[in-house]
Structure 1
Amino acid sequence: MSTWYTTFFTHLPNEFWRRLAPPSTADIDFVERHLRLTPGARVLDVPCGSGRHSITLAERGYRVTGVDSSAEAIEHARVTSSAVEWIEADMRDIPRDGRFDVAICMGNSFGYMDHDGSEHFLEALGAAVRPGGGIVLDIGVTAESVLPGFGDDREPMVAGDITAYATSSYDVATSQLITDYRFVQGDREHRGTAVYQVFTVAHLSRMLSTAGFGRIELYSGPDDVPFHLGSPRLMLTAIRI
């Protein structure tokens, strides 16, 4: 199994994404609205990155645990806020005792692992969330999003003085989206390759059912527009049975 994400998220790519994707109140509003969070609810954010969702949730009074395998991201999060329980660990190594009311996997983090790894992650979520609790998966690499009009040329992305160049290809034998990144900041440069496992929505729904989830709903974003072919983003909600 590829573990590219364990070495990819160092300072330069993390700082780029921190600038490009600041905290989103709309995302948190979506979680509160669809999972009906009650005051003091226990929330798991995995992987949490540098904490942009965890910190906002904690500011709204929820008891939040953020888990991420990037040491740089977790250290940045700890410096930023002491209101969250920060844990440096693989996204599958989460408490499996049903202590959480809600779990979120935001920022296109689902799909970092291959099929087996993704199944194990969903199984871990099924054990971490109490019956009746819910999850939100925020995914940009379903087959319905990636394949319509797929091309390998992407315009450079700029965040302040950091520029990210990306070239993507699609491996039909493994259903994987492979993107080579080059991050440049002055004379500093970081290169890395991201490998995303691509699932159809139907396949993902079957995996969730096996992991103990039901009542699956599909949206194109936090504005509640239904997900459709070609939507660049899937926000999926499900309830632990």
Structure 2
Amino acid sequence: MTKDTSEWYASWFDTPYYHILYADRDHAEAHQFMDNLTQYLNLPEHGKILDLACGKGRHSIYLNSLGYDVTGVDLSENSIAYAKTYENETLHFDVHDMCEPYKDKFDAVFNLFTSFGYFDESEDNLNTIKAIKEDLNEFGFGVIDFMNADFVIENLVPEDVKIIGGIEFHQKRYVENGHIIKDISFTDQGKDYNFQERVRAKTLTDFEALFEQAGVYLLDVFGDYKLGKFHKSTSERLIMIFK
């Protein structure tokens, strides 16, 4: 199954501007998170990890450097084409729709950096959980690293401007019909662009219901990349471990 390119994520994630806007992501923090997570899960040496919605592969590449056999998949053909330049015998990338099970079994499936809740069809969220379950081997763990929607909504910045590489990115944020929405507009080389990010404001309770429907079991919940305790009102992240 291939997503309709009219879906916001299919078009926005496949542009170079998405990567320009988010070029300042904290790689040290991401590496620390992967260190903490893999140690907590006690994954086997050279264990197999599926990085679901991997983008350009920043987590996959680092996980591979730790000695894991990593497959990164994403819907964006441009991102996967870039990531493939880093491939080796134990690091592979593939264009794949995360609503569908992949063709292999893994010791862990990671869905990181709020790469969930994009779909307009609510059953696609459930299908993704079911696909993760299908992708896990007998001893495998699923991990979803999502935003803490309660915290994000409470601390939402309605509007700001980021200037990167001479481009002024105008960002407007609001909540509408159960979604946290960001409108992004900018001009480059005389041409106007408008994109939107739209993510369902799913809470821990929402995920618990999805997990029950999918037949998976929630084992632990963390609220930050240091794997601190989750607090509904103050935690920035909602990190769920399940199998």
Q: TM-score, normalised by structure 1?
A: 0.86
Q: Distance in 2 between matches of 1:71 and 1:183?
A: 23
In the other structure, the counterpart of 2:134 is 127
Give, as a single letter, the amino acid of the residue that structure 2 aligns with 1:64: V
Q: What's the secondary structure of 1:155's corresponding residue?
A: strand
Q: Distance in 1 between matches of 2:183 and 2:31?
A: 30
CA-to-aligned-CA distance 1:44-81 (integer Å, 9 cap, x gap)? 00100000000011111111111101111111111234
Q: Distance in 2 between matches of 1:189 and 1:19?
A: 23
Is residue 75 of structure 1 aligned with residue 78 of structure 2? Answer: no
In the other structure, the counterpart of 1:154 is 159
Q: Which has the higher contact order (CA 8 A, sep 6+)?
A: 1
Any stretches of 5+ residues in structure 1 without a counterpart? none
Deviation, structure 1 residue 108: 1.3
Equivalent residues in 2 for 1:61-100, closer than 5 Å: 61-82=67-88, 83-95=90-102, 99-100=105-106
Q: 1:234 aligns with which of 221, 229, 238?
A: 238
Give, as a single letter, the amino acid of the residue that structure 1 aligns with 2:34: I
In the other structure, the counterpart of 1:213 is 216
Aligned length: 234
Q: Distance in 2 between matches of 1:184 and 1:218?
A: 41
The RMSD of aligned alpha carbons is: 2.4
Give, as a single letter, the amino acid of the residue that structure 2 aligns with 1:137: I
Select between 213-222 and 61-70 the one with higher mean Cα deviation: 213-222
Change (3 A) 1:219 1:187: farther
Change (3 A) 1:183 1:29: farther
Change (3 A) 1:120 1:53: same
**Aligned residues with identical type, % of pairs:** 24
Equivalent residues in 2 for 1:1-241, closer than 5 Å: 3-9=7-13, 10-22=15-27, 24-82=30-88, 83-95=90-102, 99-114=105-120, 115-140=122-147, 142-150=148-156, 153-159=158-164, 161-171=166-176, 174-183=177-186, 190-228=193-231, 229-238=233-242, 240=243
Q: What's the secondary structure of 1:221's corresponding residue?
A: coil
